[in-house]
Amino acid sequence: MTDPRRDRVDRLDQPVEPGRVRLPRFDPESFGRWSESIARYMGTAQFIVWMTLVIAAWFAWNTLAPAQLRFDPYTFTFLTLILSLQASYAAPLILLAQNRQTDRDRLAMEEDRRRAAMQKADTEFLAREIASLRIAMGEVATRDFLRSELSRLADELDEAAHRREKRARSDWEEDRKDWEEDH
């Protein structure tokens, strides 16, 4: 089947439907990485050295070469145009790279905030746990308390054993007396 809209575009007796201009599609992430690499290179000493060498060679060629070989002889108009063109492309590329870096920084900051909030919550939980353990430890017998209680209990047991022994002796003596009286 044919597209009716396409048929109308090809016909000269029909007006062209208004539409949007179709720009080529590109991957924003790839373009962003490419612009960052260019912006990163433009911020290096190597770029400055190469740019200085190119401009120096341009000046040297257009001032020292014979007049018929000079391609930019008068006030370096072409050089100014080239440098303006380079600057007009460099500025948006640098801004794009900065925007991408700002986005990365924002994401990193959000992640840092999220981790800090989690860490704060964990720290507060642990602080509450330690406080509850300290309160519980106040109710728990200490080693010195246990020693004193065991010592007191041992003394009571010794006294009880001593009393039992006394009672057993006295019972034995009574039984012996009763036996002697019976025999």
Rounded CA separation 26/96 (Å):
15
d(CA 96, CA 90): 10
Mean pLDDT of 1-18: 63
Q: Give dist(CA 23, CA 21) in Å, integer.
A: 6
- Range in 8-12, 34-38, 153-157, 169-173 the model is least confident about: 8-12
The model's pLDDT over 33-43, given as tens digits with 9 standing for 90+, comes to 888 898 889 88
Q: Is the pTM of this model over 0.75?
A: no
Mean pLDDT estimate for the chain:
86
> pLDDT tens across 33-90, in order?
888 898 889 889 999 999 999 999 999 998 888 888 888 877 788 999 999 999 999 9
Confidence bin at 8 (pLDDT 50/70/90): very low
**Rounded average pLDDT over 20-33:** 81
- What is the rounded CA–CA span in Å between residue 134 and residue 128? 10
- Cβ atoms of residues 93 and 35 within 8 Å: yes
Q: What percent of the chain has pLDDT over 90?
A: 41
Which residues fall within 8 angstroms of residue 39, CB to CB, at 6 or more apart? 90, 93, 94, 96, 97, 98
